[in-house]
Amino acid sequence: MHAARRVLEAALPEPPAFVDLDAGFELFQRTGVALPDETVQELKSRCSCALFGAVSSPSHKVAGYSSPIVALRKRMDLFANVRPVASPAGGSGRPIDMLIIRENTECLYVKSERIETDPVTGERTAWADRKISERASRRIARIAFDMAIQRGKLRAAADSSVPQLHPKPKVTVVHKSNVLSVTDGLFRESALAVYNDPLLGFKDAVVLEEQLVDSMVYRMFREPHAFDVAVAPNLYGDIISDGAAALVGSLGVVASANVGDSFVIGEPVHGSAPDIAGKGVANPVAAIRSAALMLEYLGDAHTAARIYAAVDRVLASQPNALTPDLGGSGTTQSVTEAVLRGL
């Protein structure tokens, strides 16, 4: 977050004001609260946007604790998680330029779980309820089609001498409705209804395809260049976007934005890494790109493009200077300084 803050201060014509707010498991251990009401109220009343850093969550059940970012997405109605996965401009190999759009408020992440104990045998059975609504599915599908069209316009305005991966915008609807015919079936039906609505005009502007989530993973690793925009329910979007990060070198370079109608939170896709905490070798690129993505959704595409370009130059031209997750010997600070020089 410190690296992202420095880049924002350098890139923007007027340095922004920052407010540091608390959330996370360490806070929960001290206070019994992972996401204080004060944090949410400060975001709503004082902030135009936010950056969310990597916080740890325990891998086992802890009474009273739940993920602060999941709660924050719900309380701020940040219904779309937008995750670009792209190889650096000017890099070697066939380019990858995917945008994974994950529904952010439903699916298994409603965290409705319970354990039932058989009164005779004493054996326990765990249950989890899954929520897929028509409203949320239509809303996320519409954003996916809108963003595909916007990406198409940006490509059309770019250098026409460069061959385009996707001559026409394409959206891949990811589901498993061959098995989960009710929940995933509703997600699929809702997305197709948005696509086929003549008043919205998507059918003439966007190519639509469907992909079962398991074959999506297979195809994504075999031919990632085949995908433009992919839209998925919450759990599938989480899994495929983390997997897609392997295609571009590291979770340390993949950004995301939690987007609602009136607020945006930039958030690196990676989680915490306790094994390297305090060593100064964590990759700052995901956080820096998340800050740029946040600016993009605030309408400052110019500054965002400058930051993206500076990051791409560092990734493409200085492989030995990158952080260890990308095979280099650089540090968090040295990579940040290289991006700042690029700006």
pLDDT tens, residue by residue, 240-266: 988 888 888 788 898 999 999 889 999
| C-alpha–C-alpha distance, residues 217 and 340, integer Å | 35
CA 239, 292, 89, 169 dihedral sign is: positive
Catalytic residue among 97, 109, 228, 312: 109
For residue 61, pLDDT beyond 80: yes
pLDDT (tens digit per residue) in 157-173: 765 544 566 778 999 99
Q: Which residue matches tokens 């994504």?
A: 220
Residues 67-111 pLDDT 10s? 898 899 989 999 999 999 987 655 556 788 899 999 999 999 888
Active site residue 109: yes
The 10 Å Cβ neighbour count of residue 32 is 9
pLDDT tens sequence across 19-56: 999 999 999 999 999 999 999 999 999 999 999 998 88
> Which residues partner with 265 through β-bridges?
50, 258
Catalytic residue among 146, 197, 242, 300: 242
Full-model pTM:
0.84
Least confident of 105-109, 198-202, 243-247, 326-330: 243-247
Enumerate the H helices of 32-178 as residue ranges: 37-46, 68-75, 134-157
Considering the candidates 44, 129, 168, 214, report the single residue annotated as catalytic.
214
**Pick the catalytic residue: 170, 176, 184, 297?**
176
Q: Which residue of the set 97, 184, 228, 238 is catalytic?
A: 238
Q: Where are the alpha helices (DSSP H) in 223-298?
A: 234-245, 285-297
Q: Catalytic residue at 184?
A: no
pLDDT for residue 147 is more than 70: yes
Concerning whether 218 is annotated as a catalytic residue, the answer is no
Q: Is 176 an active-site residue?
A: yes
pLDDT exceeds 80 at position 319: no
Nearest to 323 by CA among 293, 288, 282, 287: 282
Mean per-residue pLDDT of the chain: 91
Could you tell me the pLDDT band of residue 316, with boundaries at 50, 70 and 90?
confident
Instruction: Report DSSP state, residue 320.
Output: G
Please indicate whether residue 77 is annotated as part of the active site.
Answer: no
The first and second tokens of residue 307, run together, are 């930051």
What digits encode the pLDDT tens for the residues 262-306? 899 999 988 888 889 899 999 999 999 999 999 988 989 889 989
Q: Which two tokens stand for residue 61?
A: 């059940």
Overall average pLDDT of the 4-25 stretch: 94
Residue 94 is predicted with a pLDDT of: 73
